[in-house]
Amino acid sequence: MQAVIFCGIQASGKSTFYKEHFFNTHVRISLDLLRTRNRENLLLEACLSTQMRFVVDNTNPTAAERQKYIGLAKAARYEVVGYFFETSVKEALVRNSRRSGRFVVPDKGVFGTLKRLQKPALAEGFDVLYLVRLQQDGSYIIKQVEPETGHRFPDSADGPDGSEPEV
């Protein structure tokens, strides 16, 4: 079975990526949908006890927050796959401004998540870790993080315009 853990600031493309890549194969565990940690925990436990594949579609900005899901999934003998959604704050704020209703995140919420954001590392317990960048045309660039690179992501020094990307 497979547990997928997303990590990235709001409006970095996580939910759209889920819909395009996992909608037909994995249960979506998302606080945006479930609204409470209690509901999230109930759905997570249901997935683990029934060996259902799932995606945790939250910001998961810190290693400690990701560890809850990684530890439970590993204990249930899941393969744990991480996806880090790298984007600039400017791009995320533009995408966020296109949202409506309760899905619009206040700018200070995006900046608050960014301030807490720790890039995930294989050492956290991921079996596989990917770097994902949403492109202007809506496509994604996906690169697997190799074990020898540790905390450094491949080509992370190259932003879309050749400059250092904002995380």
CATH number at residue 140: 3.40.50.300
pLDDT of 149: 55
What confidence tier does 138 reach under pLDDT thresholds 50, 70, 90?
confident
Question: Phi first, then psi: what are they for 140, rounded to 5°?
Answer: -120, 145
Q: Which domain holds residue 29?
A: 2-147
CB-hemisphere CA count at 13 Å for 64? Answer: 1
For residues 40-68, b (16+ Cβ closer than 10 Å) or e, as one string?
A: beebbeebbeeeeebbbbbbbbebebbee
- DSSP string over the chain: -EEEEEE--TTSSHHHHHHHHTTTTSEEE-HHHH-SHHHHHHHHHHHHHHT--EEE-S---SHHHHHHHHHHHHHTT-EEEEEEE---HHHHHHHHHT--GGGPPPHHHHHHHHHH-----GGGT-SEEEEEEE-TTS-EEEEEPPGGGTTPPTTTT--TTSSPPP-
Q: Considering its fold, how many domains does the chain have in total?
A: 1
Residue at 78 is within a domain: yes
Q: pLDDT over 70 for what percent of the chain?
A: 88
Residue at 87 is within a domain: yes
Average pLDDT over residues 89-100: 85
Residues, the chain: 167
Residue at 156 is within a domain: no
**pLDDT (tens digit per residue) in 25-76:** 999 999 989 999 999 999 999 999 999 999 999 999 999 999 999 999 999 9
More confident residue, 148 or 110: 110
Residue at 93 is within a domain: yes
More confident residue, 144 or 93: 144
- Chain mean pLDDT for the chain: 88
Q: Are 131 and 143 in contact (CB under 8 A)?
A: yes
Q: What is the pTM of this model?
A: 0.85
